[in-house]
Homo-oligomer: A and B are copies of this chain.
Amino acid sequence: MTQPYSIAVLPGDGIGPEVVGCALEVLDAAEARYGFRTERSEVAAGANRYLETGELFDAVDARLRDKDAILFGSMGDPRVAPGILERGFILEMRQRFQQAANVRPVRLYPGVPTPIAGLTPERCEMVIVRENTEGAYVGRGSTVHAGTPNAVAMQESLNTRAGIERVVDFSFRLALGRRRRLTLCHKTNILVAAGQLWQEVVEDLASLYPEVEVDYVHVDAMCFHLPLAPERFDVVVTDNLFGDIITDLGAVIQGGLGVATSANLNLDGSAPSMFEAIHGSAPDIAGKGWANPSGAVLSLALMLGHLGEGEAARAVEAATVEVLGGLPALAGAEMGATTAEVGTRIAELVRSGEA
């Protein structure tokens, strides 16, 4: 029998443990059906751990680094000041594990209500690839004359050719296996230095992928095109900050945070990739059974695909889509089933091979 995959599981805070619990039940089903195994180690991380011990990413780095993948719930708690967990854990992991590409499928699944009038699933099937380690997220900035009327704050966006190249190349390869269209999203008319470098890299790599059609859209215009003409996009590649913004708009279009999922991919095998739903810890509804576990289960599907278990990945996605389509609402008491029940339904479909 083949070696088990080693998976670190970080349930995190709020609804994180509930939705990750569902993902693990679905993983059990997928293992039973598709004949692979995982060895899971649960790692406590997030607000509770920070509040108890002051520990952030540093404390768990060694326990994650040798794993094949990380399944992540969500982090955040009103008792922790904004920025602490984001910078001390999430961004730190992206940096240290060189998770260069934040991959967010924006797909409207059949039966899922979208707030965009008239939008149909056929028209909304794209992947947004966000550069995940540099740009404005390098956190370089400083203030002179702080606390005086003359204060000036500088904030820097740092963009390296190597950093851009790896996500752009990844995006071209992704597009090759899809509809062969790559759109760069930036604001090149204003952010000239950074914009030129991005454009240069896209143009240079385009010659290596002549089958892929290349397109460009300003980030502000993206606010129009994404909701009104999503069929225009196959793979969209963009910088860290613009990606942060437009992927949330993407999530709106596909029906909301409950369904959206993401992968933080290390592209050179030097450290594990991380998979998570894009919703937050939602402490207000934690423990109520109101959270939709679909985002977390779909992140499991991305993880399985990444590990090379393509068949299992497709089955988990298909089962999730089927169950999602039958829910009266996407979250809350109106969902028509509890978090755990939704998870069990998906798991059953996977186990029986019906999906």
Enumerate chain A interface residues (CB-CB to B < 8 A). Answer: 82-83, 86-87, 91, 113-118, 136-137, 139, 141-143, 145, 148-162, 187-194, 196-197, 200, 219-221, 223-224, 227-228, 241, 244-249, 251-252, 256-257
Contacts and interface: CB of A to CB of B under 8 A. Distances in A.
B245 A223 contact: yes
Given A156-B155, A158-B154, A191 B136 contact: yes
A257 B223 CA distance: 11
A155 B197 CA distance: 11
A155 B195 CA distance: 9
User: For the complex, would chain A's binding face be called helix, strand, loop or mixed by DSSP majority?
Assistant: mixed
Contact of A156 (B86, B156, B256): B156
A149 B205 CA distance: 13
Given A83-B190, A155-B156, A219-B245, 13 more contacts: A113-B117, A116-B116, A136-B190, A139-B192, A141-B191, A141-B192, A148-B161, A149-B161, A151-B160, A155-B191, A187-B244, A190-B244, A223-B245
5 contacts: A115-B116, A141-B192, A141-B193, A223-B252, A224-B251
Contacts of A91: 190
Contacts of A228: 115, 252
Nearest to A150: B161
Nearest to A85: B189
B223 A187 contact: no
B244 A220 contact: yes
State the 5 A-B residue pairs at the shortest beta-carbon distance, nearest first: A141-B193, A151-B161, A223-B248, A155-B194, A153-B197
Contact of A153 (B118, B194, B221): B194
A143 B200 CA distance: 12
